[in-house]
Chains A and B, each alone.
Chain A
């Protein structure tokens, strides 16, 4: 047991250590924390009004606990998703495991160590949503002291089951993935399969909620207490147990449900460690070896061709992103996640008829409103693209090659900006397809939107790359460190949404500005200015930082 804890501590230190960070960076984190206070204030007030409205509507029929049910069901889905990517990267993509395998540890000990960092991730995720909503619910329902104790315990216990379940599922997949020949590709494939699995899970839940039936059923169910809760949590018993524990915090009943959940969680931990003991090494040993192909001299000589330096750099970047499982998952899959999810929801809504009409609705909304809304939504989706803010850090120990090869610094950096822009293009194409096929966007709106999107994508690529050049993380032992425990994505988003959020709000409120074309022209102009400023800033940064980066 002692050794397991030592191992957990060592692994956590390697992930989260502040060692080697300058005091400037540490001050930066503190400033960021202060900056986040008003931001979280806004989120909490929004959550508060949602909780209040729902509570007041549901309470008269005794269905207010459906709100808790909804929270726990939602949290389960979110936690499953977060577990998916973090378990994959921590257990299987992280090659630091090779450093630990020669030591006399049991598979379950290594697994416990490897689980620590993803688990902290889960607590951060659920802390953002669960803590404020549970507290607000407590306030609105006038709950007593025991409720808060239970809520705290649930916050601690609840992520266990989604995490262990996802981990067991993945260990099972990976055990078979390891038999395959091209291991890098299979690793990504197994990840994608699980990704599809969750989307499918979500689809099944949605399919079970036939809108007409639900409306009828809900009318009946709402007559009886807990009726709504039962349909919401029908698929996920742990959500039901958690809700009942909180609902009956004062009664013995509540304690029973809490203990039941606790027992289940302890059970799944044992299951997880036992499955790990049997499956983990079979999945992970030898997994880091790539594939070797039969040699074909014709194929090799075909690959010898001359290209401009910029193109050579660009292709190198894209190859590295698509071939490194962690980069592929974090950059390509995650940036497609938003649009794909949107597609799933929209396609299902449209089959029920409510979205098909959205296009004509947008037409009636003539003028700037739909454009501004679409623009800010797109900016948000493009802003969270990790390809830009990992531009420099991705190179890791290959970075010095940029310094000793005779390529001008700005060529290197702009090939990286271009890479981020191209990766964004994937999301844009998907969004465009939805816009045309599902929502049936009016052509004028579509053209204006797509032009603005291309510009916005260049802007976010510039901002992300600049931020990464300013403070890159090159000394990683494992690719996931490029993305974990860095606030850079948040800063990028704050800069992008801060400036253009304000501008959109301003344009929205100028009454004399109504036409679509004027608004697009104005936005395009402002984007061009923003791009110009970012270009100057990036070039300055290249001058001061490029040679000092290592």
Chain B
């Protein structure tokens, strides 16, 4: 569970997130939506400890990300919006590095690396530098790294962008399974079809403020039932 309490963040004099309150419950796939520059990435970066929080608190399964950061970070896996990291490492070196950091025993590590990378179709590229990977392959290796340590909480920033249909399907299935086991899946996206297919609950943020939070049914009820999600989204985030 992720609990965001009254969080505010300012960037160069501009308020990026204002008094945000949000609880991401266990056992559900939670979609985080908003137009470009709405504060989605800023929020995710505060949850993961990349950005300091100006006001308020964020806890992950009860651990405060600011004061108990190591404990909190051990509980989540994070897929950043840009997978262009550690490009000079080989795929296998990156996964082994993650394995060392999360203390994954060798036999489990070996089995998981094989299973994950085979299901994403990057197994045969493991001995090459990440630099040589395509965008989608980079995304897959980062996702594999996250799944390798089997965290309770998944935090994914635009996880499906750049993935081919098969891998996209695989990841979505994995997200469903993970949530079904009672874990947390929190992800941001622009793609409304994905939200409709996948999410149990959504939150829509615009200009740093929460516009809506609820399940898909509530969202449709709040607006006219026959409206498409696209129209609802546009209405909620229309600039004035």
Contact = CB atoms under 8 A, between A and B. Distances in A.
A404 interface: yes
A316 B97 contact: yes
Nearest to B73: A406
A547 B92 contact: no
B86 A398 contact: yes
Contact of B101 (A295, A305, A406): A406
A498 interface: no
A403 B49 contact: yes
Nearest to A296: B127
A323 B97 contact: no
A407 B100 CA distance: 11
Contacts of A306: 99-100, 104-106, 109
Contacts of B78: 404
A295 B51 CA distance: 39
B106 A407 contact: no
A309 interface: yes
Interface in A20-68: none
A404 B50 CA distance: 6
Contacts of B97: 312, 316
A404 B146 CA distance: 12
Contacts of B73: 404-406
A548 B125 CA distance: 35
B15 to A, nearest CB: 19
Contacts of A291: 128-129, 132
A206 interface: no
A324 B90 CA distance: 13
A506 interface: no
Contacts of A398: 85-87
B86 A293 contact: no
Contact of B88 (A297, A300, A319, A401): A319
Contacts of B71: 406
A3 interface: no
B128 A292 contact: yes
A319 B93 contact: yes
Contacts of B123: 297
B86 A403 contact: no
Nearest to B90: A303
A290 interface: yes
B89 interface: yes
A312 B49 CA distance: 22
B51 A550 contact: yes
Contacts of B105: 306
A301 interface: yes
B74 A295 contact: no
A301 B129 contact: no
Contacts of B39: none
Nearest to B77: A404
A550 B92 contact: no
A299 B82 CA distance: 29
Contacts of A290: 128-129, 131-132
A397 interface: yes
A408 interface: yes
B110 interface: yes
B52 A548 contact: yes
A404 B70 CA distance: 9
B96 to A, nearest CB: 6
Nearest to A310: B100
Nearest to B65: A404
B110 A406 contact: no
Contact of B50 (A297, A299, A303, A403): A403
Contacts of B114: 301
Contacts of B88: 319-320, 323-324
B48 interface: yes
Interface string B34-54: 000000000001001111100
A289 interface: yes
Given A300-B127, A404-B49, A548-B52, A397 B110 contact: no
B128 A293 contact: yes
B203 interface: no
A296 B97 CA distance: 20
B89 A320 contact: yes
B102 interface: yes
Nearest to A548: B52
A309 B101 CA distance: 6
A312 B95 CA distance: 11
A188 to B, nearest CB: 12
B93 A303 contact: yes
B127 A304 contact: no
A303 B96 contact: yes
A184 B124 CA distance: 21
Contacts of A311: 100
A397 B82 contact: yes
Given A300-B127, A301-B110, A304-B96, A312 B101 contact: yes
Interface in A165-203: 184
A292 B92 contact: no
A304 B99 contact: yes
A304 B129 CA distance: 16
Interface string A268-307: 0000000000000000000001111101110111011111
A304 B109 contact: yes
Contacts of A299: 127
Given A291-B132, A312-B97, A304 B102 contact: no
A276 to B, nearest CB: 26
Nearest to B87: A398
B80 interface: yes
A472 B96 CA distance: 28
B50 A307 contact: no
B20 interface: no
A443 interface: no
Interface string B131-164: 1100000000000000000000000000000000
B175 to A, nearest CB: 19
A403 B48 contact: yes
Contact of A316 (B51, B86, B99): B86
B161 to A, nearest CB: 17
A545 to B, nearest CB: 11
B7 interface: no
Contacts of A312: 96-97, 100-101
Interface in B50-74: 50-52, 69-74
Q: Which 8 pairs, one residue from A and one from B, show the smallest C-beta to C-beta distance?
A: A406-B73, A312-B100, A398-B85, A404-B48, A295-B124, A323-B88, A406-B74, A290-B132
Given A316-B93, A319-B93, 5 more contacts: A290-B128, A309-B100, A397-B85, A400-B80, A550-B50
19 contacts: A291-B129, A292-B128, A295-B126, A300-B126, A301-B110, A303-B90, A303-B92, A305-B96, A309-B100, A316-B97, A319-B93, A400-B45, A404-B50, A404-B73, A405-B73, A405-B101, A406-B72, A406-B73, A550-B50
